[in-house]
Amino acid sequence: MPAETILEVKNISKSFKDGHSTIEVLKDITFSIQKGEFVAILGPSGSGKSTLLSIIGALLTPSQGHVNIENDTITNYNSKQLTKVRAQRIGFIFQSANLIPYLTVQDQLLLIQNMAKGKRRSSDKKSLELLENLGLSHHRNSYPRSLSGGEKQRVAIARALMNDANLILADEPTASLDSEKGRNVVEMIACEVRNRQKAAIMVTHDHRMIDLCDRVFYMQDGTLVENSK
Amino acid sequence: MFLALRELKQAKLRYFLVCAIMVAILFLVFFITGLAKGLSHADSSSLQSLKADYIVTNKEADGVLVKSELTPKEVKQIQKEVNAHATPIKMYMSSIQQQNKNDLDIMYFAVDTKEYGNLKIIEGKQIHDLKTNEVIVDQSMKQQGYKLNDTLEDKNSKKEYKIAGFTKDNTYSFAPIIFISNKNLNKPQQIYNAVLYSGKKVDVDHFATFSREETVKAMPGYKETQGSFTMMKVFLFIIAAFVSSVFFYILTIQKSHQFGVLKAIGAKSWYIAKGILIQVAILTVLGWGIGTLGIYGIKSILPNTMPFVLPFKLILATGVVFLSLNIIGSMLSVFKVIKADALEAIGRVE
Ligand SMILES: Nc1ncnc2c1ncn2[C@@H]1O[C@H](COP(=O)(O)OP(=O)(O)OP(=O)(O)O)[C@@H](O)[C@H]1O
Ligand SMILES: [Mg+2]
C-alpha cells in the first residue's frame, strides 16, 4: 500500500519587513509528510521554527511557495477558509497548554464540537474515550487550575485530537514540563499518531525526545535539513 | 452560548457586581421615570383628560388655560366658527371647608353637564345625570376620607354640593377637580376660560387653538420639571451603558490571548463575539428583571399620596433602550475580538 501524503510544503519562503530592511526568516523550504509519521523539528532559537509551523498551520501566509494539506493548496485561501482549515483539518498543541480557564476538562473537548456546530451525539462518547486514552478520566470535571502542567498538556493533546484532523502540529509542547513529564507527553502524542494514523510535526529543543520520532529535521538560519536517523 | 454560560457560571462574583450596578441604575431610572410621570399626572392629568381634541382660548393666554378669558359673546362666536359641537368651560380654584383639618384646595371645572362628554366614572353618576347641586369629584378626594353622597361646603361661596360620583385622572396642580354644572355660575355676564370641541383643527380669528398636549406643556413649570427628569434619565442611561461597555471591554482585553487561542483552533470571530453579546444580554435582562421587582416592591410601600405612576409599558420600553445601548456599547469589545490575533497562540508563553 502506497503511503498517503498528508502534508506537502513546496519552496516556502517567508520574509518580514523590519523597518526599512526585510529579514528572510524561511528560505525555500520543501518537504512532505505521510500518514502515520511523527516528525521532529529542532533548531536554535530564532531560526524560524514557529514561523514555519504557523504557515503550515494556516495562521500565516508564506511570501512564496505553497502548502498542500491532504492535496488541497491552502496558500491562496482567504481568512474565512483558513479558519475552516484550522477548525477541521489541523489539531494544535501549544507550548503552554492554553486551555480555557472556565471550562472543565471535558468541556474543553466539547467546545471543539460546539464550534463546528456539530451537536453530534458521538462527541460525548468521543471525548470520554480520548480522556480515557490519555489517562484523564478521573479529571473529567476538573478545571485547568487544579491540574498539573503535564495533565494540562495531556488535555491539550486530547483537544487537538477532538476534531479528527489528520495533521497535528505541536510547538514545543514540553517546554513548560520537566523532562520526565515531557517525555511522557511526547510518548502520548507518538502513540496517538500511530494508533490513529495521523501525521504530526513537533517543534522541540529537547534532543532526548528524538528517539520517539520517525524523522528529524534541523532548522538552521531559515533552511531545513533532514537528518537520517 | 457554550462559552458564555459556562463563563458566567465560573466567574459569578465578577458578573454579579456588574449586574448589581445595572440593577442600581435601572432602579434609579425606574424611580425617576415613575416620579416624573406621577408629577406630570398630578399636575396636568385633568387637561390630558379633557373631553376635546382642541381647546380655543384668547390670544393673550399663550395656551395657559387658567389665564384665558372669554366673554359669552366671544364663546358664541367661537362656537359658530369651529363648526363643530363646542362647549365652554370655566376653571377656577377654590377650597373646601373641612372639619378639624386645613381647607382642601380644589379646582372647579364648570361645564354644561348635558353637553360635556362622558367622564371616566369609577363610582356613582355620569356627568349627564348631575343635578345642579351635585358634583363629580376626582378619586384622590377619597384619600381625604370623602365618600359618595357626602356634602362639600365651598369656603368662598358657602354653597353646598353633594358628591354624586367619582372620576379618575382629573387633577390640576395637585388639586382634585370638581366637575360642576355651569348653572351654578353667576349669570348673565359669565366669563369662561376656553371652548372645547372635537374634530379638525380650526384657527379662529383673534383666538388661539391648542391641542390638549399643547395646553399641558404650556402649564407654568411643566416643561422645566419634565425636562430636568428627562435629563437625569438620559445621563443615567449614558452612565449605565458606559459602565457596562467599559467592564466588558476590559474583560475582553484581558482575554485577548485566550481569544487568539480560540481562533487558532478554528473559532470564527463571530463565534467569540456572540458569546460576549449573549453575556451582555443576559446580564442586562437579569438586571432589568431584578430592578423591575425592586421598583414594584418600593411602589407597594410608597404612600398613596406620593405622585408615582409607572406603567409596565414604560418599564419595558426602558429595558429595550437599556439593552440596545449596552449592545451598542459592547461593539467596542466585538471590534477587539475581531482584531485578536490567532498567531498569539503559537511560540509564546502566556
Ligand atoms: N511578525 C514578525 N515580524 C518580524 N520578525 C518576525 C516576526 N515573527 C518572527 N520574526 C522573526 O523571525 C525569526 C524566527 O522566529 P521564530 O519565532 O520562528 O523562531 P523560533 O525558531 O520559533 O525560535 P524559538 O526557538 O525561540 O521559539 C526571529 O528572528 C523573529 O524575530
Ligand atoms: Mg518558537
C-alpha angle A132-A138-A144 in degrees, rounded to nearest 5: 100
ipTM of model over 0.95: no
> A73 with A85: CB under 8 angstroms?
no
A208 Rama class: left (phi>0) / alpha (psi -120 to 50) / beta: alpha
Q: Which residue has the higher pLDDT, B61 or A1?
A: B61
Residue-level pLDDT at B56: 95
A18 membership: H or E segment, kind and range? strand A5-18
Residue B92 lies in a domain: yes
Same domain? B139 vs B163: yes
Residue B259 lies in a domain: yes
pLDDT at A121 over 80: no
Nearest protein Cα to ligand 1, atom 18: A48
Same domain? B76 vs B206: yes
- Domain range for residue A215? 5-227
Q: What is the mean pLDDT of residues A153-158?
A: 93
The band of A229, judged by pLDDT with boundaries at 50, 70 and 90, is low
Same domain? B77 vs B99: yes
Residue B86 lies in a domain: yes
Residues in chain A closer than 8 A to B6 (CB atoms): 102-103, 107
Q: Which residue has the higher pLDDT, A3 or B268?
A: B268
pLDDT at A140 over 70: yes
Count H helices and E strands in chain B, helices first: 8, 11
Same domain? B63 vs B164: yes
Indicate yes or no: CB of B2 within 8 angstroms of CB of A163: no
Note whether A123 contacts B: Cβ–Cβ < 8 A. no
Mean pLDDT by 10 residues, chain B (350 residues): 92 92 92 93 93 93 92 92 89 91 93 92 94 94 92 92 95 95 81 93 91 93 93 90 89 91 93 94 95 94 89 94 93 92 71
Residue B306 lies in a domain: yes
Q: Which ligand is nearest to the CA of A219?
A: 1
Residue-level pLDDT at B349: 46
Same domain? B18 vs B156: no
The band of A106, judged by pLDDT with boundaries at 50, 70 and 90, is very high
Residues 6+ apart with CB under 8 A from A61: A55, A75
Residues 66-85 of A with CB under 8 A from B: 80, 83-84
CA B88 to chain centre: 28
Q: Which atom of ligand 1 is nearest to the CA of A49?
A: 21
pLDDT at A81 over 50: yes
Residue B247 lies in a domain: yes
Residue range A4-32, pLDDT digits in tens: 899 999 999 999 988 889 999 999 999 99
What total number of domains does chain B contain? 2
Indicate yes or no: CB of A163 within 8 angstroms of CB of B266: yes
Same domain? B244 vs B205: no
> A184 with A150: CB under 8 angstroms?
yes
Least confident of A51-60, A183-192, B136-145, B179-188: B179-188
Name which of B264, B271, B350 is nearest A59 (Cβ-Cβ).
B264
Same domain? B244 vs B291: yes
Pocket of ligand 1 (CB under 6 A): A 16, 18, 25, 43, 45-51; B 347
Substitution site in A12, A14, A16 for ligand 1 pocket (most atoms within 8 Å of beta carbon): A16
The domain spanning residue A56 has which CATH number?
A: 3.40.50.300
The CA radius of gyration of chain B, in Å to the nearest whole number, is 29
Residues in chain B closer than 8 A to A107 (CB atoms): 2, 6
Residue-level pLDDT at B85: 86
Domain end point (choices B180, B196, B219): B219
Antiparallel, parallel or unpaired: β A223-227 and A215-220: antiparallel
Query: For residue A48, how far is its CA from the centre of ligand 1 (angstroms)?
Result: 5
* Cell numbers that stand for B295 in this block: 421598583
Write down the pTM of the prediction.
Answer: 0.85
Give me the helices (H) in chain A, please: 49-56, 79-89, 105-115, 122-133, 149-162, 179-196
What total number of domains does chain A contain? 1
Q: How far is A16 from chain B (nearest CA, A)?
A: 14
Q: What percent of chain A has pLDDT over 90?
A: 70
Residues in chain B closer than 8 A to A96 (CB atoms): 349-350
